[in-house]
Amino acid sequence: MFTSFDLISIFYCVIAIGVIRRLIKNWKPFWDDVITPFDTRLVTEVSFFILIPIGVLLHELGHGR
């Protein structure tokens, strides 16, 4: 049986996969010298959906030591 947390986690993962795909597709324009609104939105999504979960995972793994 799925809990609401499980469903939210699945939804979060689906969004994260989409963000990773967009980052890979736009890798070169993302790192050029021109900062566009798309770049700003993408960096916000990467930080929220990719980097924060990695930080939380490392934090929680630190509790297990």
pLDDT one-digit tens code per residue, 41-62: 999 999 999 999 999 999 999 9
Whether 46 is in a domain gets the answer yes
The pLDDT of 18-25, averaged and rounded, is: 98
Whether 26 is in a domain gets the answer no
Whether 7 is in a domain gets the answer no
The pLDDT of 27-40, averaged and rounded, is: 97
Work out the pLDDT band at 2, boundaries 50, 70, 90. confident
Cα–Cα distances (Å) from 62 to 22, 48, 51, 53, in that order, read 31, 21, 17, 14
Average pLDDT, the chain: 95
Whether 45 is in a domain gets the answer yes
Q: Domain tally for the chain? A: 1
**Which residue range forms the structural domain that includes residue 58?**
31-65
Residue 65 token pair: 């030591």
Is it the case that residue 27 has pLDDT exceeding 80? yes
Whether the full predicted model's pTM is greater than 0.95, yes or no, is no
The one-character DSSP state at 8 is: H
Name the phi and psi angles at 61, rounded to 5.
-65, -30
